Amino acid sequence: MIKIEDLQKSFGKKGVLNGINLDIPRGQATGIVGPNGSGKTTMIKTVLGLVKPDSGRIEVNGVKLNGNYAYRHQIGYMPQVARYPENMTVNELLEFIKSVRGTEAIFEEKLVDHFGLDSELEKPLRVLSGGNRQKVGATLAMMFNPEILILDEPTAGLDPRASTTFKELVHEEKKNGKTVLLTSHIMSEIEELTDHLIFILDGKVRYNGPMQELISKSAGRKLESAVASMMEGAGV
């Protein structure tokens, strides 16, 4: 599904990605963790074509990324902080994205209803709370029924009810065989929503395997303790 080979990226003199190698199969729910500045978001943005790597190779469904962005139609992306045209209403934004993608928004009504966005549709985005903006972001990511979901700190700003609704939807997508990539600083969230773990530190993959295997190696403790132990062992 997603194959990354020797991915390298520097910003100025700072190496951010230092030889990332990953093979993420179809239908796998993967948590991506690491300290701030480890390279998680940069790696995701290279997969999305938002950052151009210095070298390396990325394939999505066997198609090498080479400037053709048609593969993005297979991806639903929810950024940690989404920036939208402030004067657009929520409904105008949804219509605009549908016209850009040119594909049917299969789950639009379901998601609007699930997140309670009906009363927000005619409001300009500038007046929305942070939580409601996150709900809009989740709707945009999921409404086209993409094969791949990339979720970057998705529950940040969501109230407990909306967070629970979102997690239920992610579980539903997992059952439907979607490939899910999730970054979060909340380890209990990673543990709840994913089965596989990638730990990135200093732009390199330090662990790539089943989450429960890593937890078992840490005397059966919670994921938070297991990740903390890896960071301590690396001198972070």
Q: What CATH code is carried by the domain that includes residue 164?
A: 3.40.50.300
Give Cα 195 to chain centroid, integer Å.
Answer: 15
Residue range 6-12: mean pLDDT, rounded: 95
Return d(Cα 154, Cα 193) in angstroms, integer. 12
* Residue 19 resides in a domain: no
pLDDT in tens, 110-140: 999 999 999 999 999 999 999 999 999 999 9
With a cut of 60, say whether residue 171 has pLDDT above it. yes
With a cut of 80, say whether residue 218 has pLDDT above it. no
Which pLDDT value is given to residue 125? 96
Residue range 54-60: mean pLDDT, rounded: 95
Positive or negative CA dihedral for 49, 52, 57, 63? positive
Helix and strand totals (H; E) in the chain: 8, 10
Tell me if 138 sits within 8 A of 78, measured CB to CB.
yes
* Residue 210 resides in a domain: yes
Which pLDDT value is given to residue 233? 64
* Residue 88 resides in a domain: yes
* Residue 90 resides in a domain: yes
* Residue 11 resides in a domain: no
The pLDDT-based confidence of 234 (bands split at 50, 70, 90) is: low
Range of the domain at 161: 26-38+69-233
Q: At what angle do helices 160-175 and 130-142 cross, to 10 degrees?
A: 10
Positive or negative CA dihedral for 20, 21, 25, 28? negative
Return d(Cα 81, Cα 130) in angstroms, integer. 9
With a cut of 90, say whether residue 2 has pLDDT above it. yes
With a cut of 70, say whether residue 189 has pLDDT above it. yes
Which pLDDT value is given to residue 232? 73
With a cut of 60, say whether residue 235 has pLDDT above it. no
- Per the prediction, the chain carries an average pLDDT of 92
pLDDT > 70: percent of the chain: 97
Q: In the numeric block, which tokens belong to residue 112?
A: 């609007």
Domain count, the chain: 1
